[in-house]
Each structure stands twice: as C-alpha cells, then as structure tokens.
Amino acid sequence: MRQITITENDGGQRLDKFLSKRFRTMPKSLMYKYIRTKYIKLNGKKCDKADFVRAGDVLTLYIKDEFFEESQTKSYEFLKAPAKLDVVYEDENLILIDKKPGVIVHQDKSYHFDSLVMRVQHYLYKKGEYDPEKEKSFSPALVNRIDRNTGGIVIAAKNAESLRILNAKMKSRELKKYYLCLVCGKPKFDKGIMEDWLLKNNSTNTVRIFKNKVEGSKNIKTEYKILESNGRMSLAEVLLHTGRTHQIRAHMAFIGHPLVGDSKYGKDKRNFIKDDFKWQALYAFKLKFEFESDAGILSYLNHKEFEVKDVWFRDRISKK
C-alpha cells in the first residue's frame, strides 16, 4: 500500500488525468479497474475516475510496485539541455524568456532533448524550484510558441495555477504580442490593419492568403506601423489581432512586402532581399498584459509591459 498527497500543482484536475500523468506505463483499462475495485481510494473512500483531486487530498493505492519504481527511476532528459536562459523577467509564478533564433520551443525527432521547454526545466531544477520527484503530474511549461527561426519573448509557467490562467488569457487575447520585422520595400501606407483569410497546408507546413473566404480558411487580422524606411526595406511594428501559423510572414508577402531573409514566403517576389540574413527578420520583441477579467494570482501583472531592446536586425536600415 502506498499513499500520495496531492500538491498545489497537482490539484484541480480529474483523478484519471492525474493518474495517467503520474503512472505513464499503467494501462488505462487497469487504472479504471483499480478505481472500480477500490484498489485506489480518495481520502479513504471509494472514488470515481471523474472526481477532481484537490491540494491536500490523499490517495491510497494498492497497486503493483513496478508502477512506482518506473516513475521514480526514470532519467531526466531535460538535464541534457543547457540550463542557461536569457531572462527578460522572472518571479515566483513565471519567466519571460528571450528566445534566440535557431532554438526550438519543444523537442521533435531531430532535437529530442535540446528545446526551450527543457532548458526552462533544467534552469529551474538547478535553482531548486522544480523537483520532478515531488511534482507528480506537473512540469514547468510554455504558454506560447515561436517558430524555430524567429526570436522573441516566450512565457513559461512555473506552477499549474499560473499555467491555467495564462493559457486562458492567451486564448481570450488579453496578452498583447508585438513584433518587429524588416520588410522588403515600403508599403503604400505607413500604417494599417489588414484583414484577409488564411489557409494552411499541413503537409507542407505552409499557408496561403486569400482576399475572400475559401473552404477551410480562417480569418486573420494584422496591424502594422512603419517605424523607419530607406526605400529598399522598412522596419515595421506588428500587432497580431489573430494568431495563425506564419501569419505575419505570409500576410506581408501577400501585399508584396515579404520579410527580409524569408526564403519560404519571399523567394518568388521580385523585391526579395536575402543579403547575409540567416533567418527571417522577425522578432516578438514586446509583451503587454491587458487583463479584462480576474487574473487570480497573476493580477499584479496587469498593465505591465516587457520589451527586448537587443533585436539583431533593428539597426540594419541605418547601416545600409
């Protein structure tokens, strides 16, 4: 017989969700059988898979030792990733990280361990703020994503409550994300709000923009303002009103001004500029918290603004 006390980070979720995360090798059919036959009890009583666990609850488990042993002896892949982060802001609930171009946010088949999320976990592990042995189902997680070859601010949540709030605020667009980009040439208007339709091709991981709605397309809204221009290229600030795949890159290319260095959406444009740019000139340089409803433990962040000053292409126009 073993007992598990539910922590703050593990509370607020269904029992079956918690057990699936805690005992990853346990077949679901067996897990449900354990619950049904009272081999798993919640606070000493018979429970249901849909019951919610709360901080301080005690689970009593009469299950095979192998499931505990597997969980306790697993190796931590995140220790293989670097622990250094470029921190823009940090407190007890979250970290704002300046992700550099070339770093992926989540591991894939090519980069199975070195990713931003694993760097965050290693960083917090070294600081003593994350202990996988104590966290039964939660691990520090990223709230937003940025393409591998794009840089900028990425939000990482340190606890489950912050993650829940930030995910909800991101969905309701109460986190304002501003981008800097260099575009080829100079748009006709110095500022504007573009509204069109985007269709994604999952097989090629590319998108197309249309003036009118087509089957499967989604509405996009992109606001831009030209900050500086030398005619050959222009520095623009962009605010996304919608967050679609490659929205800025494809939308600017659609109006005839692709991002400098963007070989995917700019290579067929006559005014495409590559020069010595290794990545497309795009950076999520500023983040504003504009809460329109209660933000719980993160209310102190309301109306706060954070900005990355050192953007690698910011002064390229003046140097040309």
Beta-carbon contacts of residue 109 (< 8 Å; ≥ 6 apart): none
Confidence class for position 138, pLDDT limits 50, 70, 90: confident
274-283: pLDDT as tens digits: 667 888 999 9
Paired sense of beta strands 282-289 and 151-157, if any: parallel
Domain residue ranges of the chain, discontinuous segments joined by +: 2-73, 77-171, 178-285+313-319
The answer to whether 152 and 238 have CB atoms below 8 angstroms apart is no
Burial of 29 (0-12, 13-18, 19+ CB in 10 A): exposed
Per-residue confidence (pLDDT) for residue 286, from 0 to 100: 98
120-132: pLDDT as tens digits: 999 999 998 998 8
The answer to whether 102 and 68 have CB atoms below 8 angstroms apart is no
Do the domains 178-285+313-319 and 77-171 match in fold?
Answer: yes
Q: Which residues pair with 154 in a beta bridge?
A: 97
Task: Give percent of the chain with pLDDT exceeding 90.
Answer: 69
b/e 229-257 (16+ beta carbons within 10 angstroms → b) = beeebbbbbbbbeeebbbbbbbbbbbbeb
Query: Measured between alpha carbons, how far is 2 from 40 in angstroms, rounded to an integer?
Result: 10
152: alpha, beta or left, given left = phi > 0 and alpha = psi -120 to 50?
left
CB atoms within 10 A of CB 22: 18
Query: Measured between alpha carbons, how far is 20 from 40 in angstroms, rounded to an integer?
Result: 13
Structure tokens at 29: 């059919």
Per-residue confidence (pLDDT) for residue 72, from 0 to 100: 47
- Strands (E) across the chain are located at 2-5, 13-14, 40-42, 45-46, 52-53, 58-61, 87-90, 94-99, 141-142, 151-157, 175-184, 191-201, 206-210, 218-229, 233-240, 282-289, 305-307
- Please state the rounded mean pLDDT for residues 50-67: 88
Report whether pLDDT(183) > 60: yes
The single-letter code of the amino acid at 127 is: K
CATH architecture of 77-171: 2-Layer Sandwich (3.30)
Query: Measured between alpha carbons, how far is 153 from 309 in angstroms, rounded to an integer?
Result: 11
Per-residue confidence (pLDDT) for residue 25, from 0 to 100: 80
For 90, phi and psi rounded to 5 degrees? -150, 140
CATH architecture of 178-285+313-319: 2-Layer Sandwich (3.30)
Q: Which of 234, 232, 247 is closest to 194 using CA atoms?
A: 247
CB atoms within 10 A of CB 46: 12
Q: Which CATH superfamily is domain 2-73 in?
A: RNA-binding S4 domain (3.10.290.10)
Top pLDDT among 297 and 23 is at: 297
Confidence class for position 272, pLDDT limits 50, 70, 90: low
Confidence class for position 73, pLDDT limits 50, 70, 90: very low
216-234: pLDDT as tens digits: 999 999 999 999 999 989 9
108-117: pLDDT as tens digits: 766 667 899 9
